[in-house]
């Protein structure tokens, strides 16, 4: 009887967690690019972006990750047979990868909060797509379950990654021609 409510809450926090993971690298990009501006613009933008990132990270992203995980554990307690399914093992591996990504984002967040810029905006644009790839993989695994065809799935993830990289390059060309784009 609790299952639909727990699943709904899990999905809500999946959405809000990913919203945070999609937006925080964009803030990183803006923060990195702000450091290329002259004073006082650099300091004004940096302070504002730090505040925005802090609020996003601690008010939305971290709580969503924790609540998503708690509701996922509750679902697994309610449905222990899922742990015997191969698709669930793969999904949990992708979730582990997502947590590695989350922790790395946290490290980058902390560096930028201390005004330590260690990455380029181009790197961050590519980094921003990692969560997208994980999302695609997890959604297809959950929806298709045992019908998931590994060959097509792996090829699909690589094609998606390639398309994302091409999109990033195209955007860079457009920006180089028109800096206000």
Q: What is the pLDDT of residues 115-167, one digit of tens each?
A: 999 999 989 998 998 999 899 888 888 888 765 566 677 677 778 888 888 88
Determine the structural domain holding residue 94 and report its residue range. 3-177
Sign of CA dihedral 34, 40, 44, 50: positive
Is 145 assigned a ligand-binding role in the annotation? no
Is 91 assigned a ligand-binding role in the annotation? yes
**How far apart (Å, rounded) are the C-alpha atoms in residues 143 and 170?**
32
DSSP state of 85: S
**How far apart (Å, rounded) are the C-alpha atoms in residues 90 and 137?**
9
**Tally of domains within the chain:** 1
Rg over CA atoms, the chain: 19
Residues 32-77: pLDDT tens digits?
A: 999 999 999 999 999 999 999 999 999 999 999 999 999 999 999 9
**How far apart (Å, rounded) are the C-alpha atoms in residues 119 and 160?**
24
């Amino acid at each position: 009887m609790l299952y639909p409510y727990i699943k709904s809450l899990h999905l809500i926090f999946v959405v809000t967690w990913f919203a945070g993971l999609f937006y925080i690298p964009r803030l990183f990009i803006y923060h990195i690019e702000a450091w290329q501006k002259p004073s006082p613009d650099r300091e004004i933008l940096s302070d504002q972006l730090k505040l925005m990132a802090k609020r996003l990270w601690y008010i939305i992203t971290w709580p969503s990750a924790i609540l998503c995980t708690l509701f996922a554990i509750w679902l697994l307690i309610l449905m222990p047979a899922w742990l015997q399914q191969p698709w669930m093992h793969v999904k949990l591996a992708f979730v582990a990868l997502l947590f590695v990504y989350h922790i790395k984002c946290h490290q980058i967040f902390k560096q930028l909060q201390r005004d330590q810029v260690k990455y380029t905006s181009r790197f961050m644009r590519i980094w921003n797509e990692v969560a997208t790839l994980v999302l695609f993989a997890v959604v297809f695994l959950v929806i298709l379950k045992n019908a998931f065809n590994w060959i097509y799935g792996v090829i699909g993830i690589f094609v998606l990654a390639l398309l994302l990289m091409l999109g990033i390059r195209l955007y860079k060309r457009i920006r180089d021609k028109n800096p206000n784009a």
